[in-house]
Amino acid sequence: MNIAFLGTGLMGSGFVRRLRANGHSVQVWNRSAAKARALEGDGVRAFDHAADAVAGADRVHLSLADDMSVDAVLEPLATALSPGVWIVDHTTTAVTPTGQRAARWRERGRVFVHAPVFMGPANAAEGSGLMLLSGEPALHEALLPDLQRMTGKVLYLGEQPERAAAFKLFGNMTLLGLLAVLGDVNRLAHAVGISTHDAFSLFQHFNPGQTLPQRAARIEAQPHSTASFEMAMARKDLRLMMEEAQRGGVDLFVTPAMAALLDAGLARGEGGLDVAAAARMPV
Question: What is the CATH classification number for the domain harbouring 105?
Answer: 3.40.50.720
Same domain (yes/no): 76, 99: yes
Same domain (yes/no): 148, 206: no
* Each residue's pLDDT tens digit, 96-155: 999 999 999 999 999 999 999 999 999 999 999 999 999 999 999 999 999 999 998 999
Domain carrying residue 192: 167-279
Q: In 205-237, which positions are buried (b, 16+ CB within 10 angstroms) versus exposed (e)?
A: eeeeeeeeeeeeebbeeeebeebeebbbebbee
Same domain (yes/no): 54, 118: yes
125 CB-near residues (< 8 Å, 6+ apart): 13, 14, 15, 17, 18
Same domain (yes/no): 87, 145: yes
At which of 160, 184, 209 does a domain end?
A: 160
Query: Do residues 63 and 5 lie in contact, with contact meaning Cβ atoms separated by under 8 Å?
Result: yes
At which of 129, 160, 191 does a domain end?
A: 160
Cα–Cα–Cα angle for 148, 33, 74, rounded to 5 degrees:
60
At which of 131, 160, 189 does a domain end?
A: 160
Amino acid 283: pLDDT = 74
Same domain (yes/no): 151, 237: no
Give the CATH number, domain containing residue 263.
1.10.1040.10
Q: How many domains does the chain have?
A: 2
pTM (two decimals): 0.95
Amino acid 64: pLDDT = 98
Same domain (yes/no): 188, 262: yes
Beta-bridged to residue 61, according to DSSP, are 5, 88
- From first to last of the 283 residues of the chain, give the pLDDT tens digit: 999 999 999 999 999 999 999 999 999 999 999 999 999 999 999 999 999 999 999 999 999 999 999 999 999 999 999 888 999 999 999 999 999 999 999 999 999 999 999 999 999 999 999 999 999 999 999 999 999 999 989 999 999 999 999 999 999 999 999 999 999 999 999 999 999 999 999 999 999 999 999 999 999 987 777 899 999 999 999 999 999 999 999 999 999 999 999 999 999 999 999 999 999 987 7
Same domain (yes/no): 154, 24: yes
